[in-house]
Amino acid sequence: MLLAIDTGNTNTSFGVFEGAELVHHVRAESARNRTPDEYAVLVRQMLALRGVEASAIDAAIIASVVPTLTPTMVELVKRGFDATPLVVGPGIKTGISILYEDPRAVGADRIVNAVAAHAWVADEPHKGVIVVDFGTATTFDCVTPNGDYLGGVIAPGIKISAEALFSRAARLHPVDVERPARVVGRNPVQSMQSGIVFGYAGLVDGLCDRLRDELDYPCRVVATGGLARLIAPETRAIEAVDDNLTLTGLRIIHERNQRVRG
């Protein structure tokens, strides 16, 4: 079995693949002060609750956007599962070209998403993809029909923006981020929920329109990330939501590197 680890600024996802199938998916906070041994115990216990023994994991791959946590995740795999993981970064075979001015400046998760998104449109060879990832930041990543990572957009994440609003406006208090019944709010809670949900839907549609106007090929749009299923139905642009896009990309990259080694 393959253990795929996606370390983000807020949460870390651990996916277990049996062949091409994602059979288990657990998540933990990306705690910077947690030791590799603590992570190893935590992840082993979470997987054991799902019937996965540590000995069943024979390979691992990591994508991390938190540099201080990357060596922790490597040690987690070594100590907890007696395996040496692949780490997405320079020297690893992704199967795509990075057309960013400085390829090293692209977050590992954005590259992995691009790999999975290109596979998603494999049967439409003349189309590119725009990946909208609702994470700590909201990112828009453009993938060419050839599967090359072109670049994209980084916007403040939904929760970051909402927290800034709550903290800077003395008379506005935190609300649950959920869809209100209508756009016109009749009280502060509804009004803020409208601004957050419908405002971000408008941001997504506006940026996707601009990206499509600038690109010289048709593009599909896929979304992922924690709040994707909340925002996607309110947009025109997003065609599909894949909660496991990053984990799927990690699996594909692992397979490509195994073939190269073979």
Q: Give the tens place of pLDDT for each residue, 77-95.
A: 999 999 999 999 988 999 9
CATH of residue 131's domain is: 3.30.420.40
Q: pLDDT tens digits, residue range 153-165?
A: 999 999 999 999 8
71, 176: one domain: no
Task: Please list, in sequence order, all residues whose beta carbon lies within 8 angstroms of the beta carbon of residue 160, skipping any fewer than 6 positions away.
Answer: 136, 137
Whether 189 is covered by a domain: the verdict is yes
Distance (Å, whole) CA 230 – CA 172: 22
What is the model's pLDDT at position 90? 84
What is the number of domains present in the chain? 2
pLDDT-derived band of residue 260, with 50, 70 and 90 as boundaries?
low
Region 97-126: mean pLDDT is 93
Confirm if 232 and 225 have CB atoms less than 8 A apart. Answer: no
pLDDT-derived band of residue 172, with 50, 70 and 90 as boundaries?
confident
32, 152: one domain: no
Q: pLDDT tens digits, residue range 12-34?
A: 999 999 999 999 999 999 999 99
Is position 37 annotated as part of the catalytic site? no
125, 30: one domain: no
127, 33: one domain: no
243, 179: one domain: yes
Distance (Å, whole) CA 197 – CA 177: 7
User: Nearest CA to 5 among 69, 64, 49, 68?
Assistant: 64
The one catalytic residue among 109, 133, 141, 242: 109
Residues in the chain: 262
The DSSP secondary structure of 52-100, one letter per residue, reads --GGG--EEEEEES-TTTHHHHHHHHHHHHS---EESSTT---SS-B-S
pLDDT-derived band of residue 220, with 50, 70 and 90 as boundaries?
very high
